Structure 1
């Protein structure tokens, strides 16, 4: 008996959102998307009952994981991303034996993904609650209720587990009934909050540092002194200090580069096999695999740091110094986990400014490891994403042929078309992954508005651009129903 027959009774009973029957009107899709986002914001502001605010172990990755420290959405999209990584690795090694074109295997694949998400919720949530004090239970509440501290901890875990399942279901609602991807929209929502806060935050009202626009208003009215811009001190203050011009420039530069890269493409000419004169083009974009594989790379890094902090919290002085040395805030300052911790701000690598507190060779080694991790990881996961998302040469060739199109000058054969597409798709997937990884590290090193990580900013721009394209396509389908019938 194969594993599919053994696991099928469980996998097909995983919680699922019912698929729509027939076409969903565009306005209804927008309504489902907006309603789900409102629910996401609501849940991200519900704090855990019985928990005190502990250290945010995912603070540097919070905008990517789309969660909230100490809230019901403590885990964010982390379990979903980790489960997807495991599935991609198993699928890439052909260990699952599932045919994604077979409806039965499709149901098993989706059930397996949800089962792995539940496993990852437990593997991530249990250590957070029961080890290391990441989500410490309130002893006064336990005394008031007359229960042990262990009962309060189980209550906290139950809340974050429910939050993880709700994120999974909300993502499925948007995928089936809404516009775009739920995971992408949750990331955009969280990053947008930080960007707006980084622009217009008012100290004492928003609870954040002064935003860039707010600061410049105060500079212009003379409330904040920055010195003369014609002196070295004044120029440094405007760019790196109070003026924060460097993060503003970096954010605008990343926006421009990603939009430009999204528009760069190789267009393969197509013609209809039966209708003469009907021609088209198949675009193979420079960032063919999109920026989403970067989530996988950062998720691996966040899990590595989580493992390091878990070891530190359990072993304390027993942790070998070569493995990691942590400060009072629980951040690695030396050892292996320090070098594996990605750069997140200019202050972490500008040794000449005296802000980093490490030798130049240590900082350069950390930057080098971060670059290698992101560039190599971006290339590898881009290939994985292309193959598992049916975007590879073989799947794309079959899609084009099924639509009745062909490449002029070549036989109408899937193998022939696959060989033509192999000249472009794998290479562009690797180049796009390398480019996105490099941009993510550079954005982190230069800083961005609101302290948003470079990967989060790249994801936000790319997801927003694709969402715009999808909305335009949906509107076109609504205006011309015949096209919807042609493209299924």
Structure 2
């Protein structure tokens, strides 16, 4: 009841939160596609509009490409925070709701509106603190100190616009969710740039692999050597041929696994024991555990980097060197870069170091697999996906196991072996694919590839469902879909 009183206390503040009204009548599929396109266009404009007052060439060692992909953020633009505040606020509020720390009935329209408004408020607060953290840790270089507050305000403004765009799509004006849409745009843009972008970076190297391949073929023909072709097979921090092949192969494998299902035989009690099969995806919890994994690895790296910059900036302490050691090396193609020492712990939390050792590959993959499996089990038990939760849902829907008593307890015992196996398998596969993709230089990162395939499948399913509902409107009433 205390949580109820808390919501009532902050309700005047919740009414000030900007919101998008729900449509008064059902929106056609064509109109929803237009609104989705407009939301995507606004997000793209945010992601290419630079923040006023920062040094354009500035970059930070704390910038993590994995986190940028997951949060659909673009460094140095109005989309600096991306969807990070929305995701973090959503996870916090979902955990609070499922753990019953908040006395709220999500089936009650009034409570649901309050809960949604409170989630937005939490997202705005997170955006304020995240923007302040970015400025205080100098992840953006400001032209002068007087512009720091203006840069912070711009980041907050961009975050609020993204929150409203997500609200627009989620309220039924668009298709799917804004979070999925912006992540998909971010990943596709990254893959497109890695494949086709004809701009030069570093020591005059072409960014896109296709332009680089054309240039390498020409150079090989002129010089009559294979050196130009071999130089683009694997390029540090740049798209290579191995990355292109790995993107295609892993993308196909992810799509295959995402569509795999395990069907459990059940029966309808109220229809005289009518038998059916209930599908469980093999990738039972593929996205959120690997998001938690990437974020955890990034946080640990940032923590170790903080130790180095604060207590061991000159690598003078042998004990601290084993924890965090950053050295400056000079390369022919990239000039001077900060490289973690292979003998230090921070080396294994780097996304992809310049010097990759066999030990790094093994530890990196094992670390991702273990963390992903652990987070998979945690999420299943916290988010209402456990065998007990599934059993209660099935029993309330009139489902039971043929030959067993129709009770949630007996069904949970039967489901436990399936849910536990699928949780472990999905966590293991997601962690392995993500880590292997990083090592092989997959375009858009391994985690991004998993997210992209799953979101595309999700959008395809939604589009097919919407077409079916438009052709047969009575199905919505039969299935209880609003």
State TM-score, norm by structure 2: 0.81
Q: Mean Cα displacement is larger for which, 188-197 or 435-444? A: 188-197
| CA distance, structure 1, for counterparts of residue 302 and residue 126 of structure 2 | 13
Report deviation, 1:330: 8.1
SS of residue in 1 equivalent to 2:80: coil
Report deviation, 1:339: 3.5
Residue 446 (str. 1) matches residue 450 (str. 2): no
Instruction: Give the one of 380, 404, 425 matched to 2:419.
Output: 425
Report deviation, 1:314: 6.2
> Would the aligned equivalents of 2:96 and 2:102 in 1 still touch at CA under 8 Å?
no
2:259 alignment counterpart: 263
Query: Which whole-Å deviations, capped at 9, do the CAs of 1:23-46 have from their partners, x for residues lacking one?
Result: 443223322222211111011111
2:131 alignment counterpart: 125
Report deviation, 1:276: 6.9
2:451 alignment counterpart: 459
Instruction: Give the one of 273, 278, 301 matched to 1:282.
Output: 278
Pairing 1:362-381 to 2, within 5 Å after superposition: 364=359, 366-381=360-375
Alpha-carbon distance change, 342 to 111 in structure 1, aligned in 2, over 3 angstroms? farther
Query: Which whole-Å deviations, capped at 9, do the CAs of 1:117-136 have from their partners, x for residues lacking one?
Result: 2332233211322x243223
Pairing 1:36-435 to 2, within 5 Å after superposition: 36-53=39-56, 54-56=58-60, 57-61=62-66, 62-87=68-93, 94=99, 96-98=101-103, 101=106, 103=108, 106=112, 109-129=115-135, 131-139=136-144, 149-150=145-146, 152-177=147-172, 178-203=174-199, 209-221=206-218, 236-237=230-231, 239-240=233-234, 244-274=240-270, 280-309=276-305, 317=313, 321-322=320-321, 323-327=323-327, 331=338, 333-334=340-341, 338-339=346-347, 341-344=349-352, 347-349=354-356, 351=357, 364=359, 366-401=360-395, 403=397, 406-435=400-429
Query: Which whole-Å deviations, capped at 9, do the CAs of 1:422-456 have from their partners, x for residues lacking one?
Result: 3312321221011100111011111123xx22111
SS of residue in 2 equivalent to 1:462: helix
> Would the aligned equivalents of 2:4 and 2:104 in 1 still touch at CA under 8 Å?
no
Report deviation, 1:393: 3.4
> Would the aligned equivalents of 1:55 and 1:134 in 2 still touch at CA under 8 Å?
yes
Q: Mean Cα displacement is larger for which, 292-301 or 70-79? A: 292-301
| CA distance, structure 1, for counterparts of residue 470 and residue 404 of structure 2 | 34
Alpha-carbon distance change, 224 to 117 in structure 1, aligned in 2, over 3 angstroms? farther
Query: Which whole-Å deviations, capped at 9, do the CAs of 1:89-141 have from their partners, x for residues lacking one?
Result: 6667x472546656366556545533432332233211322x243223223xx
Residue 35 (str. 1) matches residue 32 (str. 2): no
Report deviation, 1:70: 0.9
> Would the aligned equivalents of 2:380 and 2:423 in 1 still touch at CA under 8 Å?
yes
Alpha-carbon distance change, 196 to 292 in structure 1, aligned in 2, over 3 angstroms? same
Alpha-carbon distance change, 23 to 395 in structure 1, aligned in 2, over 3 angstroms? farther
1:359 alignment counterpart: none
Report deviation, 1:48: 1.0
> Would the aligned equivalents of 2:3 and 2:103 in 1 still touch at CA under 8 Å?
no
State TM-score, norm by structure 1: 0.80
Alpha-carbon distance change, 172 to 316 in structure 1, aligned in 2, over 3 angstroms? farther
Alpha-carbon distance change, 243 to 309 in structure 1, aligned in 2, over 3 angstroms? closer
Report deviation, 1:55: 1.5
SS of residue in 1 equivalent to 2:435: helix
> Would the aligned equivalents of 2:206 and 2:212 in 1 still touch at CA under 8 Å?
no
How large is the RMSD of aligned CA atoms in angstroms?
A: 3.6
> Would the aligned equivalents of 1:47 and 1:70 in 2 still touch at CA under 8 Å?
yes
Alpha-carbon distance change, 222 to 154 in structure 1, aligned in 2, over 3 angstroms? closer
> Would the aligned equivalents of 1:36 and 1:170 in 2 still touch at CA under 8 Å?
yes
> Would the aligned equivalents of 1:88 and 1:388 in 2 still touch at CA under 8 Å?
no
Query: Which whole-Å deviations, capped at 9, do the CAs of 1:389-408 have from their partners, x for residues lacking one?
Result: 54443444454455555544
Q: How many residues align?
A: 456
SS of residue in 2 equivalent to 1:281: strand
Alpha-carbon distance change, 405 to 89 in structure 1, aligned in 2, over 3 angstroms? closer
2:332 alignment counterpart: none
Report deviation, 1:210: 4.3
Structure 1, unmatched stretches of 5+, are 140-148, 352-362
| CA distance, structure 1, for counterparts of residue 312 and residue 337 of structure 2 | 11
| CA distance, structure 2, for counterparts of residue 73 and residue 448 of structure 1 | 24
SS of residue in 2 equivalent to 1:292: helix
> Would the aligned equivalents of 1:403 and 1:487 in 2 still touch at CA under 8 Å?
no
Instruction: Give the one of 473, 476, 481 matched to 2:468.
Output: 476
| CA distance, structure 2, for counterparts of residue 113 and residue 384 of structure 1 | 22
